[in-house]
Structure 1
Amino acid sequence: MSDHSRNGGSSESVSRRSLIGSVAAVGGAALVGAGALTASSEPAAAVQGEPAAFEAGDAPTVTSNDGRIESVYLSPAVEVSWTDFSEGVERVTLTLAVGSDAGVDEVYRETLAATDPGATPGEVASVGRPDGEQSDGAADAPPDFSAVDGGLTARFERADATARGDAVTSETLSAADLSGGETDTTTLDVVFRADVAGGGDEATVVRTTTVDLTVENPAGDATAGGSVGVDAA
């Protein structure tokens, strides 16, 4: 399969592994403790929640007699937290990319800002305070960007990753040449990154997971076509 990348509008080819390596390097120690805040007096960030929030279920298989995967849907819900930002936070940029062996497509990149804390730019469906703070009428309240130790929850509109670039597409994921009874599996990397900045301080955290998409061509007759739903719980 021949994959190409679209990362921040660039069509430059980049390998899936090199992308993850470069993103993780920026995250540094934050990647090691991705599920919890880094114990430090320096500004830090974290992505809360289970990795399943970014997965396509349990080894999804598309069964078809033409070997096609028509779509891969994403609709992540993430909780980002920060600590030790003495002047609060000015902006939080959320990026999610999906890649196969030879290329990467950026599916989401949105920036939430303290100047309009309740705004839902682009494909952000909703933004609010973290789940732990959603009580006594705070469920609909915008996040408190001025907090030294704070956080937010963001939910994204459903998107088909195969329509976002030229790397992860129906063509590159499908296996039209499968013989009867054969299967073909493509491993997708899902990389989520949060960049938190405020008062001259910055912190980055990265979460990664892999999803195996398998196409099976049954030996007998079957209905052609299919889709893989990727929905955050």
Structure 2
Amino acid sequence: MMANLFSIFEPTSSIFNISMNWMSTLLGLMFIPYLYWASPSRWSLLWSKLTLTLHKEFKALLTQSHLGVSTLFVSMFTLILFNNFLGLLPYVFTSSSHMVMTLALSLPLWVTLMVFGWMNHTQHMFAHLVPQGTPSVLMPFMVLIESISNIIRPGTLAVRLAANMIAGHLLLTLLGGVGPSLSLSILSLLIFSQILLLILESAVAIIQSYVFAVLSTLYTSEIN
């Protein structure tokens, strides 16, 4: 029995005090190698077309000096997508619902962009702090606001992904917990609503992966 509602997100499986739940993050690698030796299937062709489409879209958002970075964001999209979908399977730990993982993706990226931008494009970074046409009286406030909005970017990326994954899983858990106490007719309605929620969670898994990758691309395009 759960000690509290959020205990479903706690990594509890371990061997020699080493948490094994985080191994679910690597399960996506099991689906990759067959693409290199098996004959092309509809799924592999669909995935190849999807990655090419993402490459073109990310390239359109990036400047000429950052075109090669689109591979990084496609890989990030793939990693988050695999983890979001694997978290929907029963008894599979949802690693993307933890700030440990989401911050590990957003924080190093933001720090790298900041270090690169301030070292190589210092004047351009200062220009971003004061939007064009700002009155002189409001400039100190705009610098403060822009600085705060820039600093909280990795936190907002991490919280957005984790919160969306937690919200759907909590709703599924809450509805599933009342199942044994319901009559057969209401139980069938509950199962139907759970299926609809599972479809919605699948859409959320794709959307949140895309949003994370696109926002990271937009933050990179500002460093030029």
Q: Normalising by the residue count of structure 1, what TM-score does the alignment of the two structures yield?
A: 0.26
Higher RCO (Cα < 8 Å, 6 or more apart): 1
| Higher share in strand | 1
Larger Rg: 2
